[in-house]
Structure 1
Amino acid sequence: MKDAVKRQNIEIPGGRITWKGYEEGIRTMGRIERVEEFNNLIVADYKGAPVRLIDIGYVVDGEEERRTLSRLDGNNAVSLLIRKQSGTNTVEVTDGVKQKLNSIKSLLPQDISIELVKDQSRFIKRAVSQVEEHLILGGVLASIIILFFIRNWRTALIAAVAIPTSIISTFTLMRYMGFTLNNLTLLALSVCTGIVVDDAIIVLENIYRHIEEEGKSPWDAAIKGTKEIALAVMATTLSLIVIFLPVAFMGGTVGRFWQSFGATATMAIGVSLLVSFTLTPMLASRLLRTPNKTNKYQSKESRVYNLLEKGYLSMLRWCLSHRLIVIILSIALFLSPVLIMQFLKGEFIVDDDMSEFEVIIETPPGSSLEKSDEIVQELEADLRKVDEVEHLFTTIGVRGQYQSNVTDISVYVGLKHLTERKRTQQQIMQEARAHLRKYSGLRISIQNINLVSGGGFRQTPFNLVISGPELEKLDEYSKTLIKRLSAIPGFVDTDTGQALRHPETQVHINRKKASDLSIKVDTIASSLRTMVGGEKVGLFREGDEQYNIRLRLMADYRKDAEQIANLTVPGIDGIQVRLSNITSLVSGTSPGQIDRYSQERQISVVSNLFGKPLGEAITQANSILKEMNMPATYVTSYLGRGKLMQEAFYNFMIAFVLSLIFIYLVLAAQFDSFIHPVTIMVSIFLSIPFGLLSLLIFGSTLNIYSVMGMFVLIGVVKKNAILVIDYTNTLRSRGIPIYEAQMEANKVRLRPILMTTLAIMAGLVPVAIGRGDGSASRASMAIAVVGGQALCLLITLLVVPVIYSVFDGAKNFLKKIFGLPNG
């Protein structure tokens, strides 16, 4: 029959004919044009009479065997998953798809509708909108801080102009670099909102001081004030840029993730330096006026500032008089991160509230499509009991990007937006787990949707791989680990990543009997594949469309193993031999898949986490593995987030070391000294404990966002030390003794330091307290900066002068011992 269909349904070229200078091709048009005509095909000759297909079977114009099913909110549906190509913009692709869908809708019947279920661009757009709001609000708050300190609207206006000027100018450079306005680049601009105005504040405050205290004209004050502060401003800005540059060039997956952030921050800070040396002095020379000496509302005369200044100078005098105590306390503070890290948990990334999650289910092996559908309908009813659930989209028979399997189910759960509900997404997911706990025979994973893959298959934050030579031992170790982890609060949906074994009927061939009857093994195998599984034997063309022709035994003759055993295969002289005479059918199982890791058999242990940072989960798992004392031939490793977290912190450590080296080189060149950069960098190491402490106080974790916040913190903290030391050196060069120079320098630089510090904090406060899409990850970065700045400001203002005086005393002592000249 197979040969008959193939030979009698063909269309092939037959060459060319040439006649009287004209050439044309010949084609044999042997294709069957109507489905019914297949029934009349002669497939054999029996005792001189033709046997037609209709005599032994029939042809059906049908459809392929159904292996998948989709349903949206209880209604049957056909799902279409669209993935963007690598390097393309998610929002642009999604908007283009939506436009096409709108044009298609008008062509559909009224009872057919198109619903957009999963749309990653919604979260991205809302997150970007949130960052834009934070960017604007941060700029406004930074401007208010300036106005509060100087109490002069002209001065506040000049400083505030630096923010939009720097940000807008950065847009041009971003376009040249090929960057878009996405979550990371906008976050970089939000972080830089307070930073870009720093240089303008420092220059402007120095200009204003010359007008206010020395009575200079705005023109002369702009020239002298800018020139006097230029070295310090350049040092602070360049030393901040060299912190972000290593981040922009970090390697690995996380490095590519942060590349646009680091580059955007670098460009914005570089532009702000240019603005502070050009636009700010120009505006100051034209807009500032000599203040009225009797104006009681000038900031230097304000009662609040006077109290701050007097209190700070009193503490500074005490510290300079008790340097040993300050040094001892500083050493203790420097070592305190060792203690803080015992309580601060680490993870790769914070899971944002996306108002959606998915339930991945695997039904018992051997379940049919109908059985899986029956199970999931009951499960959907339980999920609808959760108040915040808006949509349920179920897909049966799809296993992510792999093969189709009717036991694999994905249920997308759409929630009310976080602004419309009181509970968090994680709390809702935990309630869903409670509702589904009764399904003990199912493998269930309730998980966040991966923005990269789009979800549809099991992806958990905790993924431990055990590899070794013996599969039985691997299975034993994995079961022990799963049992131990499941008993620890916070580990949820803990299971093995190994696919379940699938039931099957195995056909064992008696080779001697088959050989005696001249039946080959491949004949048996191909016959079974054709009769039971079906085989493509040609194509049927209808108009411009082509359809597969599939040959298969009637369903009534292939229901069970007994019927399969009664099937026949051709033997010697065409004699049909029953399979039961040459084979035995045995029920068995086969592995769903065999996994290997580094060419070794492996089994993975996977788990979702609730209220447990990934770093803590890895620590607890490692402790259990140590107690299990597996042989050396069995090794463990982490995949997914665990591997990325280890890679990220390693790359961040390299970037941190490079940043310190670059900072020292920049400061050494600017100050023409090997000692002063060390003094300044003391503030970096004293700021780290406060950044970590602020994360601990506010319940955040050490993740890739908060680590980036630590980079920003050490960059802005050292600016205070640079300003103080630079002016101290300036005063000492005028012959003022070190003590008086330090007191005066710290007094003069107190106001710009407070202004710049509070401006940076004000710029990031909206990010730290914001509640919206993507706010959780951004907040951890802002908390590290804002909290670290607030806690360490006073300490660095007191410790840096003490370190300066200690180093200066040590230098004079060495000069005296070795008889070196001063200078």
Structure 2
Amino acid sequence: DGMSIATSYDTSIFIDRSIQAVYTTIAEAVVLVVLIIFLFLRSLRATLIPLVTIPVSLIGAFALMYALGFTVNTLTLLSMVLAIGLVVDDAIVVLENIHRHIEDGMEPTKAAIKGINEIAFAVVAMTLTLVAVYAPMAFSTGRTGKLFIEFALTLAGAVLVSGFVALTLTPMMCAKLLRHENKHNFLYNALERFFEALSSGYRRSLRFALSVRPLIVLLALGVAGGSYYFFTNLRSELAPVEDRGTITAIGVAPEGATMSFTADYARRVEDYFSKIQEVETYLVIVGFPDVTRAIAFARLKPWEQRQRKQQSLVAEINKGLSQIPGIRLFATNPPSLGQGGANSKPVEFVLRSSDSYAEIKQNVDRLIAEVQGHPALTNLETNLILDKPQIKVSIDRQRAADLGVGVDVIGRTMETLLGGRQVTRFNMNGEQYDVMLQVAGQDRNTPQTLQSIYLMGRGGQVVQLSSLVRVEENVAPKELIRFNQLRSATITAVPGPGYSLGDALTVLEQAAARILPASYQNDYSGQSREFKQSGSSILLVFLLALGFIYLVLAAQFESFIDPVVIMVSVPLSMTGALAALYFTGGTMNVYSQIGLITLVGLITKHGILILEFTNQLREEGKEMLEALVEAAELRLRPILMTTGAMVLGAVPLALASGAGAESRSQIGWVIVGGMTFGTLLTLYVVPVAYSYLSRARRPMHGEEPETAKAHPQPAE
């Protein structure tokens, strides 16, 4: 009676709320995508056609997840959010092309056949391009890479289903649902005049761009170069710090401290947490992982019931805990991807050497002193402790033998009274309890305790234990650690406010290079090791994605030049994406990197549409520049529609709030910035690149080589 049980630490709360937030984001994305489609098509019937693609593709993706044994988690649901904008792209392109023919007066069935014949190649190319982007991601290594395999394969499955739907269900629905209308309402006519003016303006500006091609090339090179500036100035980390509704606090007592000493300070931490309004429950564990340490978990109130975020509370708590003397206390944010244990820190910088541990300790202390005041590093400590206090008890065997006290008796007595020994058990109310024999805690805190312990000698003589032993107080290593077969020491720290894990590691790396001997090697463990591995892994995945896309496009277009033209838009979109991250305070992390890889597949769609129609018009005998301008103008609306659908579908991610919002917003801003900026430049740079590089292509059927047109032979 009188006892209540409350959950003080539960990671499933954040997971559940994060998944619920993603469900809301999916609904918001669907509404925004439908809105952009309706604004361009201005017809409820036409809007219904690409809308059908969304549930069909998502159901197909869920079926793939089930077949592969995937689970519904934040990453697979995040792929569903991106899929909302992705899966309608192919249907929009097919629908717009068929709708254009119907508006020109063609019968719906014939328009559907003609439209799909014109656009089928481009749809297949776009679908395979996106799948090619995600294929390398599925083979990424490391624990972080494994986390995104489900993300990549789920999204690739949704894209494949959407491509199939666009080639089959979409033209059928167009033939059945679309009709040519002679009269339109005011909204339709007003928007049509706007789109016609937009197309006309684009045609004129594109002709001007083609007349000043060197200037456009210089502009494109300058913009692409801007991506280097933003990339080098972006902070880097493994994953964004999320408001997970939980704060971890760690206490480190001086070496040699007892459990009761640590427990006294742990109670002060409890008192401090009880005064914080945003803290709902808390749990303090003393003696984990050893008697000189304590760990506390504070569960915050739900996100909607508090004004301050977890990150700001951690900064405030650290200020408060620093006022408690006698023990080192600090609070941290839980790792976003669950790396490491609750007692670990983000920064784990390992120094390896063949030197003695004493020499390694000296150099580690020098390095810590060098970086101690840097704001990027807080709560610095090392696991190489060579001065742990200890007491060495040596038995005077000769004297013990003279007094008739056995060595085993001395050892057993000290073990029992000082260390404690279970002597029996007793039952009470159906429960078993151990009976421990040990001197009370306050009576065994000093070496003088030995003077109060007596043993029975020969003939019943009482012998004082202190007369049989010699006591020496000295220090010894707490533990001696090797890392990859070399002696090592690990420096741990927490990145300071406003600094990322990458910033903190850079400070340590630069300081180590300055002051440590050349024989010392740097390495990493824990979150820091995963951060370094994920950086190299994602670079390989990015390069493989570019290579896969190039090969797929080369096979589709039967040309090694056309894929190059299409892919010139990639660095332009990267600049927009990195700029969006830079100006919104984002970082380079696994989430933003996944967004960049996704962007590669998205932005190449525009070039595919323009090039495919340009090649078709050149096959019909039109001159290159005329074909370029006409194809680009014809594809302007579907390009803007697909861009609008993808951007608006990603806006709920970029503006997300609540559990897990920090990670989702990273991908959202990459898509919004990259697609918006990249599309605006692609509309001009791709035609200009085609006009230059097409001279390296073989002439189209029935078309003279460009050089022959430019330099006709004189008549004989």
TM-score, structure 2 length as denominator? 0.91
Against the structure 1 CA distance between its residues 275 and 306, is the aligned structure 2 distance closer, same or farther, given a 3 Å change threshold?
A: same
1:209 corresponds to: 100
- For 1:10-65, what per-residue CA distance to the aligned partner results, in whole angstroms no more than 9, with x for missing partners? xxxxxxxxxxxxxxxxxxxxxxxxxxxxxxxxxxxxxxxxxxxxxxxxxxxxxxxx
What is the correspondence of 1:64-79 to structure 2 with a 5 Å cutoff?
none
Tell me the distance in 1 between the aligned counterparts of 2:520 and 2:405. 46
1:326 corresponds to: 216
1:622 corresponds to: 509
1:77 corresponds to: none
2:671 corresponds to: 785
Tell me the distance in 2 between the aligned counterparts of 1:558 and 1:358. 33
2:555 corresponds to: 669
1:653 corresponds to: 539
Q: Do residues 171 (structure 1) and 56 (structure 2) align? A: no
Tell me the distance in 2 between the aligned counterparts of 1:773 and 1:434. 25
Tell me the distance in 1 between the aligned counterparts of 2:667 and 2:96. 29
Against the structure 1 CA distance between its residues 232 and 299, is the aligned structure 2 distance closer, same or farther, given a 3 Å change threshold?
A: farther
Tell me the distance in 1 between the aligned counterparts of 2:660 and 2:619. 51
Aligned-residue offset at 1:587: 2.7
3-state secondary structure, aligned to 1:341: helix
What is the correspondence of 1:361-400 to structure 2 with a 5 Å cutoff?
361-399=251-289
**Letter in structure 2 aligned against 1:733:** E
What is the correspondence of 1:120-131 to structure 2 with a 5 Å cutoff?
120-131=11-22
- Larger deviation, residues 806-815 vs 669-678: 806-815
Aligned-residue offset at 1:567: 4.3
Identify the structure with the greater helix proportion: 2
2:109 corresponds to: 219
Aligned-residue offset at 1:475: 2.7
- For 1:110-147, what per-residue CA distance to the aligned partner results, in whole angstroms no more than 9, with x for missing partners? x1211111111111111111111111110110111010
**Letter in structure 1 aligned against 2:241:** D
1:706 corresponds to: 592
Given the alignment, which residue of 29, 37, 44 partners 1:146? 37
Q: Do residues 736 (structure 1) and 609 (structure 2) align? A: no
What is the correspondence of 1:575-724 to structure 2 with a 5 Å cutoff?
578-609=464-495, 610-628=497-515, 630-724=516-610
- For 1:309-348, what per-residue CA distance to the aligned partner results, in whole angstroms no more than 9, with x for missing partners? 2222222111211222222332333333332223211111
Tell me the distance in 2 between the aligned counterparts of 1:419 and 1:551. 52
Tell me the distance in 2 between the aligned counterparts of 1:342 and 1:277. 42
What is the correspondence of 1:797-812 to structure 2 with a 5 Å cutoff?
797-811=683-697
Choose between structure 1 and 2 for higher RCO, CA contacts under 8 A separated by at least 6 residues: 2
State the percentage of identical aligned residues.
Answer: 35
* Count of equivalent residues: 703
The 8 Å contact of residues 352 and 522 in structure 2, kept in 1 or not, is answered as yes
Q: Do residues 244 (structure 1) and 129 (structure 2) align? A: no
Against the structure 1 CA distance between its residues 331 and 515, is the aligned structure 2 distance closer, same or farther, given a 3 Å change threshold?
A: farther
Tell me the distance in 1 between the aligned counterparts of 2:618 and 2:643. 26
3-state secondary structure, aligned to 1:336: helix
1:459 corresponds to: 344
Unaligned runs of 5+ in 1: 1-108
What is the correspondence of 1:301-380 to structure 2 with a 5 Å cutoff?
302-380=192-270
Against the structure 1 CA distance between its residues 770 and 594, is the aligned structure 2 distance closer, same or farther, given a 3 Å change threshold?
A: same
- Larger deviation, residues 246-255 vs 409-418: 409-418
**Letter in structure 1 aligned against 2:608:** I
**Letter in structure 1 aligned against 2:98:** I
1:429 corresponds to: 314
Q: Do residues 229 (structure 1) and 119 (structure 2) align? A: yes
1:106 corresponds to: none
Against the structure 1 CA distance between its residues 553 and 432, is the aligned structure 2 distance closer, same or farther, given a 3 Å change threshold?
A: closer
- Larger deviation, residues 804-813 vs 438-447: 804-813
3-state secondary structure, aligned to 2:591: helix
3-state secondary structure, aligned to 2:237: coil
Aligned-residue offset at 1:205: 0.7
The 8 Å contact of residues 592 and 667 in structure 2, kept in 1 or not, is answered as yes
The 8 Å contact of residues 90 and 123 in structure 2, kept in 1 or not, is answered as yes
Against the structure 1 CA distance between its residues 327 and 563, is the aligned structure 2 distance closer, same or farther, given a 3 Å change threshold?
A: closer
Given the alignment, which residue of 432, 439, 449 partners 2:334? 449
Aligned-residue offset at 1:673: 1.4
Tell me the distance in 2 between the aligned counterparts of 1:645 and 1:513. 61
Against the structure 1 CA distance between its residues 556 and 792, is the aligned structure 2 distance closer, same or farther, given a 3 Å change threshold?
A: closer
**Letter in structure 1 aligned against 2:192:** S
The 8 Å contact of residues 449 and 455 in structure 1, kept in 2 or not, is answered as no
Aligned-residue offset at 1:528: 2.2
Against the structure 1 CA distance between its residues 444 and 498, is the aligned structure 2 distance closer, same or farther, given a 3 Å change threshold?
A: farther
The 8 Å contact of residues 194 and 764 in structure 1, kept in 2 or not, is answered as yes
Tell me the distance in 2 between the aligned counterparts of 1:809 and 1:235. 23
**Letter in structure 2 aligned against 1:623:** Q
Tell me the distance in 1 between the aligned counterparts of 2:636 and 2:579. 25
- For 1:570-596, what per-residue CA distance to the aligned partner results, in whole angstroms no more than 9, with x for missing partners? 888998765444420123344443333
- Larger deviation, residues 564-573 vs 281-290: 564-573
Against the structure 1 CA distance between its residues 550 and 413, is the aligned structure 2 distance closer, same or farther, given a 3 Å change threshold?
A: closer
Tell me the distance in 2 between the aligned counterparts of 1:770 and 1:763. 12
3-state secondary structure, aligned to 2:234: coil
Unaligned runs of 5+ in 2: 710-716
Tell me the distance in 2 between the aligned counterparts of 1:456 and 1:809. 59
The 8 Å contact of residues 322 and 330 in structure 2, kept in 1 or not, is answered as no
- For 1:685-728, what per-residue CA distance to the aligned partner results, in whole angstroms no more than 9, with x for missing partners? 33222211111121111110001010111110000000010011
1:419 corresponds to: 304
- For 1:464-505, what per-residue CA distance to the aligned partner results, in whole angstroms no more than 9, with x for missing partners? 122332333333333333333331224322333446855443
**Letter in structure 2 aligned against 1:637:** D
3-state secondary structure, aligned to 1:302: helix
Q: Do residues 489 (structure 1) and 375 (structure 2) align? A: yes
Tell me the distance in 2 between the aligned counterparts of 1:768 and 1:117. 32
Aligned-residue offset at 1:158: 1.1
The 8 Å contact of residues 365 and 500 in structure 1, kept in 2 or not, is answered as no
Greater Rg by CA: 1
The 8 Å contact of residues 242 and 336 in structure 2, kept in 1 or not, is answered as no
Tell me the distance in 2 between the aligned counterparts of 1:560 and 1:340. 61
Tell me the distance in 2 between the aligned counterparts of 1:294 and 1:563. 100
1:132 corresponds to: 23
1:49 corresponds to: none
Tell me the distance in 2 between the aligned counterparts of 1:543 and 1:420. 44
**Letter in structure 1 aligned against 2:305:** E
Aligned-residue offset at 1:445: 2.4
TM-score, structure 1 length as denominator? 0.80
The 8 Å contact of residues 339 and 527 in structure 2, kept in 1 or not, is answered as no
- For 1:256-312, what per-residue CA distance to the aligned partner results, in whole angstroms no more than 9, with x for missing partners? 110110010011101101111122112111111112166665479623212322222
Against the structure 1 CA distance between its residues 471 and 499, is the aligned structure 2 distance closer, same or farther, given a 3 Å change threshold?
A: closer
Aligned-residue offset at 1:808: 1.7
3-state secondary structure, aligned to 1:394: strand
Against the structure 1 CA distance between its residues 772 and 545, is the aligned structure 2 distance closer, same or farther, given a 3 Å change threshold?
A: closer
**Letter in structure 2 aligned against 1:774:** G
CA RMSD across the alignment: 2.9
The 8 Å contact of residues 155 and 284 in structure 1, kept in 2 or not, is answered as yes
2:714 corresponds to: none
Q: Do residues 115 (structure 1) and 6 (structure 2) align? A: yes
Tell me the distance in 1 between the aligned counterparts of 2:445 and 2:37. 83
The 8 Å contact of residues 142 and 763 in structure 1, kept in 2 or not, is answered as yes
Given the alignment, which residue of 235, 257, 263 partners 2:153? 263
**Letter in structure 1 aligned against 2:114:** K
Tell me the distance in 2 between the aligned counterparts of 1:161 and 1:727. 26
Given the alignment, which residue of 293, 302, 310 partners 1:408? 293
